[in-house]
Amino acid sequence: MIAKLKGRIDAAGADWLVIDVNGVGYHVSCSSKTLSALPGQGEFAEVHTEMLVSQDMIRLVGFASVMEREWFRLLQSVQGVGTKVALSILSVLSVAEVGNAIALQDKAMIGRANGVGKKLAERIVLELKDKVPAFAGADVSLSKFAAELDAPKPTAAADAVSALVNLGYGQAQAGAAVSAAMKKAGDDQPTEKLIRLALKELALT
């Protein structure tokens, strides 16, 4: 099992890099976020890896952090999520954003990744929701916030958070504002009202 590589980045593409370790070049598939987090061509880097073995090939997938690799493994535990889809999700969302999206049952956020349809996004957030609180990289307050909501309510809350994120606010900042709005106005508010109240909360910070 190859768990980590340290060497010089010899070449890189849209979703891969070649890292030279003592004269041996390792081809490593990566998410775009991993590639953007690593140094440029010709520089030295440390890449955490997952080695995938099939009947006809051995493949290395690389990550800028151990936590990203753990999320890659967790995502693949969901039926229908293979290497390509897991990397696609990690290319558009940071580790914290994936965790928060699952904690808030935000299917739309997960669905931003290429290859993730509505049904698959729903399966991902449902199957992984109980694993988020114990998993680093997610905002614990958002996990507790989502867990306190009744079945029909997370949709309005998650939609409000998504709308605020689309306006440029951070995921954790938006979640805290929606949570504060619901504590003041009640947890049965429609999405539109939650957004207005949350914007007021954000204006006070």
- Which single residue is written with the structure tokens 């891969």? 16
> Looking at residue 151, what is its pLDDT?
39
Shared domain for 101 and 90, answered yes or no, is yes
pLDDT in tens, 6-16: 999 999 999 99
Shared domain for 53 and 82, answered yes or no, is no
CATH number for position 165: 1.10.8
Shared domain for 40 and 106, answered yes or no, is no
> Looking at residue 166, what is its pLDDT?
81
> Looking at residue 111, what is its pLDDT?
93
Helix H or strand E segment including 9: strand 4-12
> Looking at residue 150, what is its pLDDT?
41
Structural contact between residues 50 and 58, judged by C-beta atoms closer than 8 angstroms: no
Shared domain for 79 and 94, answered yes or no, is yes
Write out the residue range of the structural domain in which residue 179 sits. Answer: 148-205
CATH number for position 120: 1.10.150.20
pLDDT in tens, the chain (205 residues): 899 999 999 999 999 999 999 999 999 999 999 999 999 999 999 999 999 998 888 999 999 999 899 999 999 999 999 999 999 999 999 888 888 888 778 899 899 999 999 999 999 999 998 776 455 444 545 545 554 444 334 568 888 888 888 888 887 788 888 888 888 888 778 888 889 898 988 887 6
What values do phi and psi take at 75, rounded to 5?
A: -60, -40
Q: State the Cα–Cα distance between residues 168 and 151, nearest whole angstrom.
A: 28
Our count of domains for the chain comes to 3
Q: Which of 140, 157, 184 is the last residue of a domain?
A: 140
The one-letter amino acid at 77:
S
> Looking at residue 155, what is its pLDDT?
65
CATH number for position 27: 2.40.50.140
Q: State the Cα–Cα distance between residues 189 and 193, nearest whole angstrom.
A: 6
pLDDT in tens, 115-164: 999 999 999 999 998 776 455 444 545 545 554 444 334 568 888 888 88
Structural contact between residues 26 and 34, judged by C-beta atoms closer than 8 angstroms: no
